Amino acid sequence: MEKDLSKIGENLAATYLISKKYNILLQNFHTQYGEIDIISEHNNTLIFVEVKTRSSSLKNAFNSVSYAKQKRISQTASIFLSKFPQYEDYQTRFDVIAILFHPQNNNFTLKHLKNAFSPPPLF
């Protein structure tokens, strides 16, 4: 069920971003360091989005993006930029979208935190 909830959350986040005129470039970009849930472009800014879906609280969702997770996302973003040099002149941003599932009414709340973190040093 947790895997299904995560997938639903990622799809909700992508739909939300599209509604805000973001261009989704990739979903679930994998490297040896980890995965970035959504890579999008908006106003010449490349945005790496981590999506966290929880049924407990939005705060728990945001807090689950630890320093170690931020570092893995940053490393993965660096690999993306090396594989897709056409984006090297873009500004970059790291966002977190937290989605809270309300099981009592089968509803969701979405919160988009732009510039959620700055990339930690890679080494």
Query: DSSP secondary-structure letter at 86?
Result: G
pLDDT of amino acid 116: 94
In order of their start, the domains of the chain are 2-113 (3.40.1350.10)
State pTM to two decimals: 0.92
**Collapsing DSSP states into helix, strand and coil, what is residue 8?**
helix
3 state SS for 5-52: HHHHHHHHHHHHHHHCCCEEEEEEEECCCCEEEEEEEECCEEEEEEEE
Q: What percent of the chain lies above the pLDDT cut of 90?
A: 76
Instruction: Encode pLDDT of 10-65 as tens digits.
Output: 999 999 999 999 999 999 999 999 999 999 999 999 999 999 998 888 888 888 99
**What is the total residue count of the chain?**
123
Q: Up-side HSE of residue 57: CA atoms within 13 Å toward CB?
A: 3
